[in-house]
Amino acid sequence: MPLATRRAPGRPLLRHPAQVIVTAFAAAVVVGTLLLMLPVARPGAHGAPAITALFTATSAVCVTGLATVDTASYWSDFGQAVILSLIQVGGFGIMTLASLLGLLLSRRMGLRTRLTAAAETKSLGLGDVRAVLVGVAKVSLLFECLTAVLLTGRFAFGYDEPWGRAVHLGVFHAVSAFNNAGFALYSDSMTRFVTDPWICLPLAAAVVFGGLGFPVLLELRRLLGRPREWSVHTRLTVGTYAALLVIGFLFITASEWNNPGTLGPLHTPGRLLAGLFQAVMPRTAGFNSLDYGQMNDGTLLGTEVLMFIGGGAAGTAGGIKVTTFILLFFVVYAEVRGEHQVNAADRRIGERVQRQALTVALLAVGLVVSATLLLLGLTGLPIRDVLFETVSAFATVGLSTGITGELPTSGQLVIAALMFVGRLGPVTLVSALALRETQRRYTLPEGRPLIG
């Protein structure tokens, strides 16, 4: 073996955090696939086909919610328990790993930068890994339990479900909602509860809190009544998240108000509730109380934009993240105004952060476009539905116009790969960019190519 390719004794095989994350999630997908292929995972004597088990396991671990089969009828209680466990592992894992990466990156900074970062974030210590693990576990358990109690009570008292069934429904949907997974135990997702606030509002609240991210939730717990003391990250995340939620609600409600296939048949309070629910879910939950296959093309396009942006960093939501989106907005704003520095939330944004945001966004656009072109060639389905499916898969949303089950095996593999890359890509990419810092010892002459 050449010396150049020989691994030094004692050197770990997986040296970079990104390698560890990808390997861990891939292992979870493999284990989940094998469990779902067992005969006990399905009613009857035969297990699920490999492609169905792989697609479902990937969707669950990546907390997406896209499914090629009906979760309620296709899987047994054991199979549903496996899916629920994979959702919990995927959601807890991504929140924990993203938070721990923040700690790792702070350790790799210089002393002055570390002290500045500690003063800015206020949410994570520079070395308390155990606090991160325990904190994520407590936050997840708290919101999941509260949501499960509310849903269980509603299913039991409002829909006369037996207590065992009500608990099963409440726990499953609570875990699915907080982890932004979107798996439902009803064939029509939440459409039968479109006007029920006791079902829709707890689910929407769990999605919002899960999508904000652990660092933001931890900081809000300590400084909820003192917004002036919030870190830049928390201010940008909460402000952008709230603005997109309001814009999404107004846009979707107005666009679908008279659509006979969606909001049209509902009374006014029902329309408002359904519009709010649909505005929350692109954060990346995947529940739907309206049929997306019946929505207007303009509504689908607007929803795709919301899905692509996603939720908060170090949370269970996907997409490029709201911080990436708002930072790029401030970059454009500064350039239009002719300013040399980019400022946001009373702070100057460093050039490295700007480049990282631009890299994540452009690579995400390229990935979605490439996957859309590939699926168009493989399936021949309308671009309206295919683009919505690919954005939903990349952003780990789980919303669909109904074509997921119609995809051929090759198309399902493309969507599964897109879910995996979309879930782990932004996290691993940012960590790789942040940890890979090189110092060039020379500077080239400046060039000015024509732009526009």
Q: Name the percent of the chain lying above pLDDT 70.
A: 85
Tally of structural domains, the chain:
1
Give the Cα-Cα-Cα angle 415, 416, 417 (nearest 5 degrees).
Answer: 90
- pLDDT at position 282, please? 93
| Pick from 93, 241, 88: nearest CA to 179 | 88
What pTM, to 2 d.p., does this model score? 0.88
- pLDDT at position 14, please? 53
For the chain, the distance separating the N- and C-terminal CA atoms, rounded to the nearest angstrom, is 52
- The reply to whether 452 falls in a domain is no
- The reply to whether 2 falls in a domain is no
- The reply to whether 170 falls in a domain is yes
Residue predicted with more confidence, 240 or 444:
240
Residue 358 identity: L
Q: In which band, very low, low, confident or very high, does the pLDDT at 75 lie, cut at 50, 70 and 90? A: very high
What sections of 122-231 are H helices per DSSP?
129-158, 163-178, 197-212, 214-223
Question: Considering just the CA atoms, what is the radius of gyration of the chain in Å?
Answer: 22
- The reply to whether 123 falls in a domain is yes
- pLDDT at position 119, please? 41
Give 333's Cβ-side CA count (13 Å radius): 10
pLDDT of 3 over the 50 cut? no
The answer to whether 169 and 192 have CB atoms below 8 angstroms apart is no
Q: Is the Cα torsion angle 248, 249, 251, 255 positive or negative in sign?
A: positive
| Of the listed ranges 2-16, 41-55, 329-343, the one predicted with least confidence | 2-16
Measured CA to CA, the distance from residue 314 to residue 316 in angstroms comes to: 7
Residue 420 identity: F
- The reply to whether 446 falls in a domain is no
| Of the listed ranges 237-241, 338-342, 424-428, the one predicted with least confidence | 424-428
**Residue 292's domain spans which residues?**
17-435
pLDDT of 212 over the 50 cut? yes
- Tell me the three state secondary structure of residue 343: strand
- The reply to whether 195 falls in a domain is yes
| Of the listed ranges 92-96, 129-133, 236-240, 285-289, the one predicted with least confidence | 129-133
- The reply to whether 12 falls in a domain is no
- The reply to whether 190 falls in a domain is yes
pLDDT of 261 over the 50 cut? yes
